[in-house]
């Protein structure tokens, strides 16, 4: 017997362990609690961690909000009002979260005075069930709220039992409730308006008999007689090839249908108005010709057609000459009649495939389609000029005007429609400037060149913004003393793709553009900055920079220069020289003279660059207060072999001495050139024979080596001049 009882206990323990039930045994008066391992594990502990277990241990882990509910049920059990104590409570897990527990118990021993002595029970983890229940509740609530918002209800018809189920929103849509209305198919169908009733009955028959789905918009009444628009759908559940269940929705779409009906009425009204406006939108009210709007459409069609057929067309821009005078002299009424008369004359010059449009005022545009040759275009345009210039009699008044015509031809001008019209307009202005009563054909090559020029200017501007320019420096020396007397700053472009570019590849592009001024100011700032750097290293040599004619002739040149110099407080007078072209100085001699004087006051000297190429007179040379003349390298290069060039060089040197100017030769490439210059009395020189232009960081090393030994030392040591 004892063996059997032990065996039963072991089996019971296995069952308890398998079901995951926590078991507890509570001595009520002492508060002692015995429990199995799973009771402790359920809240994340081992029995050893909780030992000794008391009733207070249970209270400490109970959620405070669940204590009143638990006490109330426990009290009823102790009062023997209920046989079992059963409550769902939350208990705090060791990790901090709460788990849901189903706590059940029963008092198995009582004191003689009727008070409870011992109670046993179980704890079962029901967290997952509670989460699922809450999820189901939330989902149901959200579904119900969503159906309310969307006014969408559901229905289901069991074809076996003929039971019809409606969701809460379906009842609300029909102004009913489950308590007051029992839905069925016959009653539901009877609520529809006759036309809708016939439709829904046929749809239901197809669904019931063949499992055919439907999606309908119908009119029905609510149970209270209110007329509403609904959308109803249906899908069938098929079993063994037969429909057994129909499921669908009811949606109240009354507001949408109301708006839709209003829109449909508005659209009908708009169609009537549009029929009236369409002609006004596409045709000129005075002449009946296509207007600018319709012209754009016709041009697109013509371009597409000629592109497919590889043929040509011409866009012709016609502007009447003298039309304003007609209006001013005779009034707008006569002017309008004249426009109508000219329209009829222009139509006579056109072929069937051509289009004539009036785009405003006295401006017309023709599309000459399917041209066989440019000569054919010229023949038509000649007819146009003749037709316009014919005398018209308006209200017995003889009136005559002419036309200026601009033409561009596709595909030679392979532009889009807007650009073609602009090009024809540009050509018309050229025709008007050429004397009127003529036509001019747009020059595509010239336009491409101008666009290319604009692109190149844009690229140079980007280079300036991107800090891609730098200055190279070419030394100047005194051949007689071997002394470095200064440097010329020469701009270079560190092109990201083409490498370092010399100034002749980009400066001519911006010669007449305001960007020229911006680049010029950058050169001056860069040279002044470099002077400051070298001065800090003990190198104090003047630097000359080239100033373009456009830059020099700016009205605010001196004021802008003053602003630049303010940023260089250590600037020393004489450390910057401006080199100006002889031609630019002579062109605006009065203004240039004034600028030179003002710059002298700022400590800046001037030299005339490329002297000898501008054919300046002695009077002009006398008036220009420059400090130095630079002999152009073209004369220096050939002076050894060409007596005329040698004579020019000697003449310039003599002029410089006569007018008390210093003189420097550029383009000195050999020591032989240096020897001849010394013999002729020119001591200052620069050129490849002395040094090529170099980056600023290379100059200090070159300067140091030059002071030690150089190829020109021989001349300065041996020449007796």
Residue ranges of the domains in the chain?
2-125, 148-257, 284-442, 470-718
Residues near 510 by beta carbon (within 8 Å), at least 6 away in sequence: 457, 460, 516, 519
- With contact defined as beta carbons under 8 Å apart, do 381 and 343 qualify? no
For residue 425, which of 350, 316, 297 has the smallest C-alpha distance?
A: 316
- Position 82 scores a pLDDT of 94
What is the CATH number assigned to the segment(s) 2-125? 3.30.450.20
Rounded CA separation 689/692 (Å): 8
Give the 3-state secondary structure of 11-49: HHHHHHHHHCCEEEEEECCCCEEEECHHHHHCCCCCHHH
pLDDT at residue 108 in the model: 93
CB 494 within 8 A of CB 464: no
pLDDT at 342: 92
d(CA 380, CA 403): 14
pLDDT under 70: residue ranges of the chain: 1-19, 138-140, 143-144, 146-148, 150, 447-450, 583-587, 612-620, 710-721
CA distance 403 to 113: 129
Question: Please, what is the angle between helix 292-309 and helix 254-282, to 10°?
Answer: 80
Q: The domain 148-257 is classified under which CATH number: 3.40.50.300, 3.40.50.1970, 3.30.450.20, 3.40.50.2300?
A: 3.30.450.20
Q: Which CATH superfamily is domain 470-718 in?
A: EAL domain (3.20.20.450)
Q: What is the pLDDT of residues 397-417, one digit of tens each?
A: 899 999 999 999 999 888 898
* Sequence-ordered list of residues with C-beta below 8 angstroms from that of 672, at least 6 positions apart, any chain: 640
Omega before residue 411 within 30° of 0, cis: yes
**In 383-497, beta strands by DSSP E:** 392-394, 397-399, 402-410, 438-441, 469-478, 483-495
pTM: 0.48
Question: 2-125 and 148-257 share one CATH topology?
Answer: yes
Q: Which CATH number fits domain 284-442: 3.40.50.10860, 3.30.70.270, 3.30.457.10, 3.40.50.1950?
A: 3.30.70.270
d(CA 534, CA 544): 15
Reduced to 3 DSSP states, what percent helix, strand and coil does the chain have, rounded to the nearest 5?
50, 25, 25
Give CA separation, 491 vs 446, 449, 512, 520, 604, in Å.
Answer: 30, 26, 18, 10, 20
The dihedral sign for the CA sequence 686, 692, 693, 699: negative
Q: What is the pLDDT of residue 315?
A: 93
- With b meaning 16 or more CB within 10 Å and e meaning fewer, what string describes 75-93? eebbeeeeeebebebbbbe
227-239 β-sheet, strand order: 164-166, 152-158, 242-252, 227-239, 214-221
Residue 569's SS3 state is coil
> Which pLDDT belongs to residue 711?
57
pLDDT of residue 617: 53
221: nearest Cα among 250, 192, 185: 192
pLDDT score of 1: 44
Find out whether 700 and 477 touch, Cβ atoms under 8 Å: no
Half-sphere exposure of 344 toward its Cβ, with a 13 Å CA cutoff? Answer: 8
How many CA atoms within 13 Å lie on the side-chain side of 579? Answer: 20
């Amino acid at each position: 017997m004892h063996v059997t009882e032990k065996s039963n206990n072991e089996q019971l323990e296995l069952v308890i362990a398998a079901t995951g039930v926590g078991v507890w045994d509570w001595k009520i008066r002492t508060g002692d609690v015995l429990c199995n391992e799973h009771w402790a594990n359920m809240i994340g502990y081992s029995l050893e961690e909780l030992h000794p277990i008391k009733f207070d241990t249970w209270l400490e882990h109970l959620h405070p909000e669940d204590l009143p509910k638990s006490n109330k049920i426990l009290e009823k059990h102790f009062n023997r009002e209920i046989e079992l104590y059963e409550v769902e409570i939350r208990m705090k897990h060791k990790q901090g979260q709460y788990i849901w527990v189903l706590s059940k118990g029963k008092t198995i021993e009582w004191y003689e005075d009727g008070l409870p002595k011992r109670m046993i029970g179980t704890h079962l983890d029901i967290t997952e069930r509670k989460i699922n229940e809450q999820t189901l509740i939330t989902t149901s609530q959200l579904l119900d709220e969503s159906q309310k918002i969307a006014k969408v209800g559901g229905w289901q018809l069991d074809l076996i039992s003929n039971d019809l189920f409606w969701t809460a929103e379906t009842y609300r849509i029909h102004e009913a409730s489950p308590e007051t209305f029992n839905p069925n198919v016959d009653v539901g169908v009877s609520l529809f308006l006759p036309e809708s009733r016939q439709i829904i009955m046929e749809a239901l028959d197809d669904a019931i008999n063949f499992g055919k789905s439907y999606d309908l918009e119908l009119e029905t009444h609510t149970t209270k007689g209110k007329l509403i628009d609904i959308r109803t759908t249906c899908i069938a559940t098929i079993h063994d090839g037969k429909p057994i269940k129909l499921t669908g929705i009811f949606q109240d779409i009354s507001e949408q249908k109301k708006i839709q009906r209003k829109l449909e009425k508005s659209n009908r009204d708009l169609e009537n108005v549009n029929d009236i406006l369409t002609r006004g939108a596409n045709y000129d009210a005075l002449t009946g010709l296509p207007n600018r709007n319709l012209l754009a459409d016709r041009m697109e069609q013509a371009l597409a057609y000629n592109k497919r057929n590889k043929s040509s067309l011409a866009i012709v821009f016609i502007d009447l000459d003298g039309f304003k005078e007609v209006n001013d002299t005779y009034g707008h009424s006569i002017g309008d009649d004249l426009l109508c008369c000219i329209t009829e004359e222009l139509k006579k010059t056109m072929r069937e495939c051509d289009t004539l449009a009036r785009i405003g005022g006295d401006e017309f545009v023709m599309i000459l389609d399917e041209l066989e040759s440019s000569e054919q275009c010229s023949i038509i345009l000649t007819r146009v000029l003749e037709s316009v210039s014919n005398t018209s009699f308006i209200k017995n008044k003889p009136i005559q005007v002419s036309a200026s015509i601009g033409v561009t031809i596709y595909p030679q001008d392979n532009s889009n429609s807007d650009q073609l019209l602009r090009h024809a307009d540009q050509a018309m202005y050229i025709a008007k400037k050429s004397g009127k009563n003529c036509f001019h054909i747009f020059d595509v090559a010239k336009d491409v060149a101008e666009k290319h020029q604009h692109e190149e200017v844009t690229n140079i501007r980007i280079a300036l913004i991107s800090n891609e320019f730098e200055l190279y420096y070419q030394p100047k020396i005194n051949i007689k003393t071997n002394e470095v007397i200064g440097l010329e700053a020469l701009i270079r472009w560190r092109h990201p793709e083409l490498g370092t570019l010399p100034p002749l590849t980009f400066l001519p592009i911006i010669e007449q553009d305001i960007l020229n001024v911006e680049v010029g100011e950058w050169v001056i700032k860069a040279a002044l900055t470099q002077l400051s750097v070298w001065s800090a290293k003990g190198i104090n040599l003047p630097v000359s920079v080239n100033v373009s004619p456009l830059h020099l002739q700016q009205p605010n040149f001196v004021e802008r220069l003053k602003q630049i110099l303010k940023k260089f407080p250590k600037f020393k007078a004489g450390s910057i020289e401006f080199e100006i072209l002889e031609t630019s100085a002579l062109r605006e001699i009065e203004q240039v003279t004034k600028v030179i004087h003002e710059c002298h006051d700022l400590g800046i000297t001037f030299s005339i660059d490329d002297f000898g190429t501008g054919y300046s007179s002695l009077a002009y040379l006398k008036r220009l207060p420059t400090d130095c003349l630079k002999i152009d390298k073209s004369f220096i290069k050939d002076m050894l072999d060409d007596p005329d060039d040698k004579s020019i060089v000697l003449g310039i040197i003599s002029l410089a001495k006569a007018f008390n100017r210093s003189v420097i030769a550029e383009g000195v490439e050999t020591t032989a050139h240096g020897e001849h210059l010394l013999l002729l009395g020119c001591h200052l020189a620069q050129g490849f024979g002395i040094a090529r232009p170099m980056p600023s960081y290379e100059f200090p090393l070159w300067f140091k080596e030059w002071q030690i030994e150089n190829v020109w030392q021989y001349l300065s040591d041996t020449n007796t001049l």
